[in-house]
Amino acid sequence: MDALDVILLIIRWAHALAAVAWIGGSLFMLLAARPALRNADPKGLVGRALAVEFRPVVTTAIAVLIVSGVILTVDRLTSDAAGIAYTAVLVAKIVLAVYAFGVAWLLPRRREQQAGGIRRVLAGPTALTVVGVVVIGLADVLTWLFERGLVG
């Protein structure tokens, strides 16, 4: 293992850690905090305070994901092991990630407007969390496809 391999390993670790922090935190907020606060915090003050405190985590995670994602994408796409299937899944992952970044960026700004209907379904915290979980799943598919490409 040379120095470049160690650097790429650290970048992969940072990429995974950022995804886990963001999506894990989102799952906690969605599945634990929000239901617990529904009756205990009728005015939503604690929920808003939690969201404000979680925002820097999301912002940092997005920055780390973008930088590390670009580096890892270049590394993998320059390998012969990355075939057409790998590229197709990678494009799907990138599209969903960009969507999630957009939703995360717009979500705090939309809170004041309280969008309803289909906009809330497509751009709300639940949609953001579901997309994040799917993106993490696609990362596993990419690893599997890449390892299969290495074997031949």
Interval 8-65: pLDDT, tens:
999 999 999 999 999 999 999 999 998 998 888 888 888 889 989 999 999 999 999 9
Identify the residue with better confidence: 120 or 141. 141
Band of pLDDT at residue 108, cut at 50, 70 and 90: low
Q: Residues of the chain with pLDDT > 90: what percent?
A: 66
pTM of this structure: 0.86
Range 85-93 contact pairs with CB under 8 angstroms and sequence separation of 24 or more = 85/145, 86/142, 86/145, 86/146, 86/149, 89/138, 89/141, 89/142, 89/145, 90/142, 92/138, 93/135, 93/138, 93/139, 93/142
Band of pLDDT at residue 112, cut at 50, 70 and 90: very low
